[in-house]
Structure 1
Amino acid sequence: MKDIETRFVRAAEAGNEVSRMLETKKIRLDICAKIPGSPGKPPTARFVSALRVCCNRENILNQETAQNISKVVTWKRSVSSLSSSSKSPLTAAMITDDVGDSNSDFVEQFAMVSGSHSSTLDRLHAWERKLHDEIKASEHVRKTYDEKCNLLRRQFARGLNAQLIDKTRAVVKDLHSRVSVAIQAVDAISKRIEKIRDEELQPQLVELIQGLIRMWKAMLECHHKQFITISLAYHVKSSTMVQQGEHHRRAAAHLWNELDCFSSSFRIWVTAHKSYVESLNAWLQKCVLQPAQDRRRRKRKVSFPPRHALSPPIFVLCRDWLAMMESQSLPTDELCKSIKEVMQLLRGSFDHPADHQDKTTTESQSRNESQECGMLENNEQEVSGSVEAVEGLQSKLTTVLDRLTKFSEASLKHYEELKQNYEIARDDYQTGRSNAHLV
């Protein structure tokens, strides 16, 4: 059991790198209460929070006080508002020194070579909001411009005073200039968003994929060795009587609570992970003009880019990532089911311990000397039942570790394929752009 426990600690530590990439120390949440019941929380925050729960839960529970847990999401705006210059490790270190005095709990140096992921998402959101405001304002100017153009045409048709026509014409020219400026502003903001998307967000997602590959590779090794250990221990028969005392019941209850927290956190992590990728892919779909569809094919959903189209690699990456999450090829349900079976078995160990103990004590006191043979037989049955219960628990735990191994193996395989597909799309895109420049 000590070896299995050590492997669990190593598996948890395998997620520390991804946790640092996502800058989880910038976020403080009530893990048990606020994650499940927070429908308005952004998908990125849910993903980061749930990932921290699954990968680093033990350290959180040991280090966080009740005051820190009760805090809501807090972002360091001074860090999030940085430009792409935040990629420099020296700059990051200076930032840490500047804001470290205010509240060190919320500060962590960037773990990504390509810069702060949360800062990139925050600045993309700010630029998108500015783009929305510019388009909204330009639409109002454009509407006024169209109205004045119609008015000018009517004045010409009616042959009104030349002075009045010149006045309207001046207004139209001014509005036309404002529309041109608005179009240039929208174009500049759009190019800025594309620059951040291609030069910052895309490398960060690639780094995240690589970090997840390393994480699942380490977890696969840990869970596989755990499975081998418990499988070998399953064949070792012990003749020692299994104690069914208070210590056993407390251990069973503690294990049940840990499995319950792990199961719920795992489901939250999977859901938040999928929501995170869905949000990225949905945003990318809004960045392009969807191709015209044939009327006969309107019912079929067409996503950009099509498989045969030459598109920026980030589109292919997020499209395939989302397809992986929606394919249900990961044995998520099987793993959760095996954990639930262990919890049901443990529940029977501490549901009614007091009544069972009182009943056993009363029966043992009421027996007389003439029932010694029957008492010995009952004791043997109790010992046999205890051994069977332990063997049943061992069998269920073996199944859980087997499912954990298979889940880690499937995740590693999918992320390696995702990385390979991205590299192919990147090379094709670079080759296509080079050929286009030559033409």
Structure 2
Amino acid sequence: MKDIEIRFMRAAEAGNEVSRMLETKKIRLDICAKIPGSPGKPPTARFVSALRVCFNRENILNQETAQHVSKVVTWKRSVSSLSSSSKSPLTAAMITDDVGDSNSDFVEQFAMVSGSHSSTLDRLHAWERKLHDEIKASEHVRKTYDEKCNLLRHQFARGLNAQLIDKTRAIVKDLHSRVSVAIQAVDAISKRIEKIRDEELQPQLVELIQGLIRMWKTMLECHHKQFIIISLAYHVKSVTTVQQGEHHHRAATHLWNELDCFSSSFKIWVTAHKSYVESLNAWLQKCVLQPAQDRWRRKRKVSFPPRHALSPPIFVLCRDWLTMMESQSLPTDELCKSIKEVVQLLRGSFDHQADHQNKMTTESHLRNESQECGMLENNEQEVSGSVEAVEGLQSKLTTVLDRLTKFSEASLKHYEELKQNYEMSRDDYKMGRSNAHLV
């Protein structure tokens, strides 16, 4: 059992790299415990906190007031450490405000060569808000411009005073200039977003996938060795004395609590992971104008880019990533079912022990010679039942480790294929752009 425990610790440590990439040290621990089950939270926050729950549940202890909830992420990076796309008037003020804060509840730790992932997402959100405001303002100006153009045509048609027409024409000319400026501003912001997307977000997603590949490789190795160990122990069938008493009960209770926590945290992790990828892909879909659809195709779900289209690699990456998460090819349900069976077995064992203890207490005042013989028989039955329970638990744990091994193997395979498809799309995209420049 010690070898199995050590392998579990190593498997947990395998997630530390991904956890650092997602900057979980910047997430308030008391908030982490609340975010996973809270509706309306950003998918990235749910994903990060779910990782934190999975790998470091014992650290989530503090429960403070909610007055600090609004400030979850802090930037402690100097402006010089940021990429060129982040050195803009819009973000400089935001960075300056946060750099001066040295709240001890936050820890600076990130491990991506391409920069801070959370900061990139925050700046993309800020630029998207700026783009939304610019478009909303330009629409108002455009509406006023159309109204004045109609008024000018109406004045021409009615042959009104030339001075009045000149006044309206001057207003139309001014509005036209404002519309042109607004279009240029929208175009500049859009290019800024594309620059951050292609030069920061895309490399960060690639790094994240590479980290997940390394994580699942280690987990596959650990869980496979655990499965071998427990399988050999199960087939040897070495009969040992069944441990009873308070120590055995505490160990079983601890195992029950940990498995129950692992099951719920695993489900949260899978849900948050899928939500994170769905949000990325949905945002990318909003970055492009979807092609017009025929009437008979309107009911079909069309995603950009089509398989045959030459598109920026990040679109292909997120599309394939989402397809992987929605394909049901990962044995998630089988793993959750096997864990649930172990939890139910332990719960049944606790209920049986409680019933037996109550029965012994009730009958304690009726002890006599004949009853003592009956108690010996009951004790033999109890030991026999305990042996069967241990063997049943060993069988169920063997199934859990087998499912963990298969899940790790399937995850590793999918992420390696995802990386390979991305590299192919990246090379095709570079070649296509080179050919376009030559033409």
Deviation at 1:327, TM superposition (A): 0.4
Mapped contact 2:85–2:192 kept (Cα < 8 A): no
Offset at residue 100 of structure 1 (A):
9.2
Deviation at 1:63, TM superposition (A): 13
- CA–CA distance in structure 1, aligned partners of residues 76 and 208 of structure 2: 21
Deviations 1:393-420 (A, max 9, x none): 0111111111111110000000000000
CA shift, 1:102, in A, is 1.8
Q: Go from structure 1 to structure 2 and tell me whether the alpha carbon gap of 1:170 and 1:88 turns closer, same or farther (over 3 Å shift).
A: closer
Report the Cα offset of residue 26 of structure 1: 1.0
Q: CA deviation at 1:161?
A: 1.1
Kept in 1, the 8 Å contact 2:50–2:269? The answer is: yes
Mean CA deviation greater in 236-245 or 165-174: 236-245
Moved more, 23-32 or 62-71: 62-71
- Which piece of structure 1 moves more, 268-277 or 347-356? 347-356
How far apart are the structure 2 equivalents of 1:157 and 1:92? Answer: 52
Shift of 1:360: 3.3
Structure 1 residues 69 and 343: alpha-carbon distance in aligned structure 2, compared to 1, 3 A threshold: farther
Task: Check 1:88–1:419 CA distance in 2 against 1; reply closer, same or farther (3 A cut).
Answer: farther
Cα distance in structure 2, aligned partners of 1:34 and 1:252: 28
Moved more, 96-105 or 262-271: 96-105
- The worse-fitting range, judged by mean Cα deviation, of 174-183 and 66-75 is 66-75
Q: Deviations over 1:292-321 (max 9, x none)?
A: 111121111110000000000000000000
Partner residue of 1:358?
A: 358
Relative to structure 1, is the Cα distance of residues 272 and 77 closer, same or farther in structure 2, using a 3 angstrom cutoff?
Answer: farther
Does the CA contact (< 8 Å) of 1:80 and 1:119 recur in 2? no
Q: Give distance in 1, aligned partners of 2:197 and 2:349.
A: 54
Residue 182 of structure 2 corresponds to 182
Normalising by structure 2, we get a TM-score of: 0.90
Deviation at 1:146, TM superposition (A): 0.6
Deviations 1:32-75 (A, max 9, x none): 85134310211110001001111333455699999999996767
1:168 to 1:370, Cα distance in 2 relative to 1, 3 A: closer
Tell me the SS of whatever aligns to 1:104.
Answer: coil
> Residue deviations 1:115-146, cap 9 Å, x none?
00001000000000000000000000001111
Residues 385 and 364 from structure 1, CA distance in 2 versus in 1: closer, same or farther, beyond 3 angstroms? farther
Contact preservation (8 Å) 1:47, 1:272: yes
1:353 offset after TM fit, Å? 3.6
Moved more, 185-194 or 381-390: 381-390
CA offsets per residue over residues 86-109 of structure 1, 9 Å max, x none?
Answer: 899999999999959822442323
Cα 1:228–1:319 change in 2 (3 A) is same
Tell me if the contact between 1:230 and 1:398 (Cα under 8 Å) persists in the aligned partners.
Answer: yes
CA displacement, residues 213-248 of structure 1 (integer Å, 9 cap, x when unaligned):
000000111111111111111123344331332322
Indicate conservation of the 8 Å contact 1:25/1:105, yes or no.
Answer: no
Question: How far apart in 1 are the matches of 2:162 and 2:98?
Answer: 65
Counterpart Cα distance in 2 of 1:11 and 1:429: 37
Q: Does the CA contact (< 8 Å) of 2:32 and 2:53 recur in 1?
A: no
Match of 1:307 in 2: 307
Cα offset, 1:347, TM superposition: 0.5
> Which stretch shifts more, 280-289 or 350-359?
350-359
Task: Name the stretch that deviates more: 358-367 or 318-327.
Answer: 358-367
Contact 2:79 2:87 in 1 (8 A): no
Unaligned runs of 5+ in 2: none
Cα distance change of structure 1 residues 163 and 87 upon mapping to structure 2, 3 Å threshold: closer
CA gap 1:6/1:126 in 2 versus in 1, 3 angstroms: same
SS in 2 for 1:255: helix
Alpha-carbon distance between aligned partners in 1 of 2:114 and 2:273, rounded to the nearest angstrom: 21
Q: Please, which moves more after superposition, 57-66 or 364-373?
A: 57-66
The range that moved more, 43-52 or 354-363, is: 354-363
Tell me: CA distance 1:98–1:174, structure 2 relative to 1, closer, same or farther (3 Å): closer
CA contact (8 A) 1:284 1:315 kept: yes
Size of the alignment, in residue pairs?
439
Identity of aligned residues (%): 94
User: Alpha carbons of 1:80 and 1:393: their partners in 2 closer, same or farther (altered >3 Å)?
Assistant: farther
Tell me, in whole angstroms, the C-alpha distance in 2 between the residues paired with 1:211 and 1:93.
32
Q: Distance in 1 between matches of 2:159 and 2:69?
A: 75
Q: Deviations over 1:140-170 (max 9, x none)?
A: 0001111111111111111111111111111
Aligned pair in 2 of structure 1 residues 435, 80: CA closer, same or farther (>3 Å)? same
The question of whether the paired residues in 2 share the 8 Å contact of 1:30 and 1:71 is answered with no
- Counterpart in the other structure of 1:394: 394
Tell me if structure 2 keeps the 8 A contact 1:241–1:383. Answer: no
Show CA shifts across 1:274-305 (max 9, x none). 00000000000000010111112111111000
Most deviating of 322-331 and 99-108: 99-108
**Aligned-residue CA RMSD in angstroms?**
3.9
| 1:68–1:185 Cα change, 3 Å | closer
**CA 185–31 in structure 1, closer or farther in 2 if over 3 Å, else same:** closer
CA distance in 2, matches of 1:153, 1:89: 42
The runs of 5 or more residues in structure 1 that have no matched partner are none
Q: Give the C-alpha shift of residue 349 in structure 1.
A: 2.3
TM-score by length of structure 1 reads: 0.90
**1:90–1:74 Cα change, 3 Å:** closer
User: Alpha-carbon deviation of 1:265?
Assistant: 0.6
Q: Which moved more, 1:115-124 or 1:81-90?
A: 81-90
Greater shift in the superposed pair: 293-302 or 14-23:
293-302
Once residues 48 and 80 of structure 1 are traced to their aligned partners in structure 2, the CA distance between those partners, rounded to angstroms, is: 26
State the alpha-carbon separation in 1 of the partners of residues 88 and 157 from structure 2: 64
Q: Which residue of 2 aligns with 1:114?
A: 114
The answer (yes or no) to whether the contact 1:29–1:35 under 8 Å persists in 2 is: no
CA gap 1:383/1:422 in 2 versus in 1, 3 angstroms: same
- Taking a change above 3 Å as real, the CA distance of residues 249 and 89 of structure 1, as seen in their structure-2 partners, is farther
1:21–1:208 Cα contact (<8 Å) kept: yes
**1:325 matched to which residue of 2?**
325
